[in-house]
Amino acid sequence: MTEPPEFRPNFLFIQARARLKDFFITSLWLSLMLAGLTGWWGVEGDALMLHLAAILAVLFLCLFISFIVVCIVRKRHPIAELRQLVSFKSVLYFGLSLIFFVLLGAVAVVLSTKK
């Protein structure tokens, strides 16, 4: 017996939802990392970077609060939702961007000490 077409899962819709979840999680931690990095440069004396850090911190807070609201609406615990959202691809992106930001920070330190 086959299922009616309206009950079959739409593969493209499921794939788009998975990509949206990966994009959301990536945007969440990327905005936090960029806010930290630009905030450090801002403390070093660049007012534009300090302003950018504030904007990125607000973006992170908005994304985090929207994540908590979605968890409350779905009546799920945030940790359980995070475990379901995080995929291998997003962990891989996190690792690669973490290496990139460490290298970027090292270059910034070297360039700031050459004054």
**pLDDT per residue of the chain (115 residues) written in tens, 0 to 9:** 465 566 556 766 666 676 777 777 777 777 777 777 777 666 666 677 777 777 777 877 887 888 788 778 878 777 777 677 666 776 777 777 777 777 777 777 777 776 5
In-domain check, residue 89:
yes
Q: Specify the DSSP class assigned to residue 2.
A: P
Does residue 98 form part of some domain?
yes
**45 in any annotated domain:** yes
How many domains is the chain partitioned into structurally? 1
Residue 10 lies in a domain: no
Distances (CA, A) of 63 to 3, 20, 28, 53: 38, 13, 6, 15
8 in any annotated domain: no
On whether the CB atoms of residues 77 and 71 are closer than 8 A, the answer is: yes
**CA–CA dist 27, 51 (Å, integer):** 19
Burial class of residue 64 in the structure, from the number of CB atoms within 10 Å of its CB (0-12 exposed, 13-18 middle, 19+ buried): middle
Residue-number span of the structural domain to which 56 is assigned? 21-113
81 belongs to a structural domain:
yes
Per-residue pLDDT tens for 82-96? 677 666 776 777 777
With respect to residue 6, please indicate whether it lies within any of the assigned structural domains.
Answer: no
Identify whether 5 is part of a domain. no
Q: Which two three-digit tokens encode residue 21? A: 């979840």
